[in-house]
Amino acid sequence: MDNSLSKALIIAAGVLLAMIVVAFMVYSFREIGSWSTTQNQEQVAEQIEKFNKEYEAFDKDLMYGVDVISCLNKAKSNNDKVDSGDYPASYLVKVNVTFKKKLSETIRVYYVSKDSKKEKEAHNNADFTNTKNLKLEDVFKVSKEYKDHVNGIDFSKAIAPVNSDLTMNINEKYQLSRKSETSDLIKALLAISGNLRQSEQNPKYDLVKDNWTRIEWETPAFSMKTRKFQCTNIQYNAQTSRINLIEFEEF
């Protein structure tokens, strides 16, 4: 009888211990899962904060066009990943820019005067020779994307000093979004934003046969870089808390 009772007590104690162990393991797994979830939430929050800070840096009452171009390039890089499927659509950042005056671009041609032997800025094609069939795109590396989206200087014409305003509307919002929704003007600006001012020497310069020495091109991005802008609006996605819109307006 005593042996039976002892065995029963041992079995009961074993069952109780097993239940305690199981309960502890369940509790531990829940705590680990909760900790893991908390860690993930903290990482997501940090990522959102980092993402937003990169754009909140442009939330200023005064900045220059070069800063706006930097923001456009950053948003374009981000949106290209959305278009390619690397980022979800909630990551999309739209940028709107309003101009108070038209952007322009300038071409300057320099030549050596046969009389003075000094370099001068040309004022018409008569100042230099053998350029009838020479096109600006033969001198500069003009991307197809730029030529397709800007209506300023005609790069198919022979070289001539010229200053030209772009075909654009002032007080209109020009948008950067997905590629299919981005304004042609913004596409053109970003296509040449890496080289605001280009200068090319004449590799075949000859004082007698062809006496233009160099050509300078100040792009529309060059005319924009020193203009003053302010950030007028910044918005966040209600679901993700990420910035999804930032707007700039020229003074």
Count how many domains the chain has.
2
Both 34 and 152 in one domain: the answer is no
Q: Which residue has the tokens 């374009």?
A: 76
Both 144 and 251 in one domain: the answer is yes
pLDDT of residue 132: 58
pLDDT of residue 188: 87
pLDDT tens digit sequence for 23-51: 777 676 676 665 556 667 678 789 899 99
pLDDT tens digit sequence for 139-171: 887 777 777 766 667 666 666 667 888 888 999
111: which strand partners? 120, 212
Question: What token pair was written down for 185?
Answer: 């003007």
pLDDT of residue 38: 64
Question: How far apart (Å, rounded) are the C-alpha atoms in residues 178 and 149?
Answer: 16
Both 46 and 127 in one domain: the answer is no
Residue from 238, 242, 231 nearest 71 by CA: 231
Both 222 and 99 in one domain: the answer is yes
pLDDT of residue 152: 63
- What pTM does this model have? 0.76
pLDDT of residue 96: 98
Is residue 111 scored above 90 in pLDDT? no
pLDDT of residue 163: 81
**pLDDT confidence bin for 116, thresholds 50/70/90:** confident
Region 121-147 average pLDDT: 73
Helix (H) or strand (E) holding 9: helix 2-56
Region 195-205 average pLDDT: 86
Both 108 and 18 in one domain: the answer is no
- Long-range contacts: 69-77, Cβ < 8 Å, 24+? 69/189, 69/190, 69/193, 69/221, 69/224, 69/225, 71/95, 71/246, 71/248, 72/97, 72/176, 72/186, 72/189, 72/190, 72/193, 73/190, 73/193, 75/176, 75/246, 76/176, 76/182, 76/190
Region 160-186 average pLDDT: 89
Region 108-120 average pLDDT: 83
Both 115 and 183 in one domain: the answer is yes
C-alpha distances out from residue 18 to 10, 23, 127, 223, Å: 12, 8, 101, 78
Phi and psi at residue 85, to the nearest 5° = 90, 0
The average confidence (pLDDT) of the chain is 84
Both 14 and 89 in one domain: the answer is no
Is residue 7 scored above 90 in pLDDT? no
Region 120-137 average pLDDT: 71
Indicate the residue among 10, 40, 56 that finishes a domain: 56
Question: What token pair was written down for 111?
Answer: 């030549």
AA letter at 223: S
pLDDT of residue 167: 83
Region 197-204 average pLDDT: 88
Q: Which residue has the tokens 């940028």?
A: 95
SS3 120: strand
pLDDT over 70, % of the chain? 82
**pLDDT confidence bin for 101, thresholds 50/70/90:** very high
pLDDT of residue 243: 96
Both 39 and 68 in one domain: the answer is no
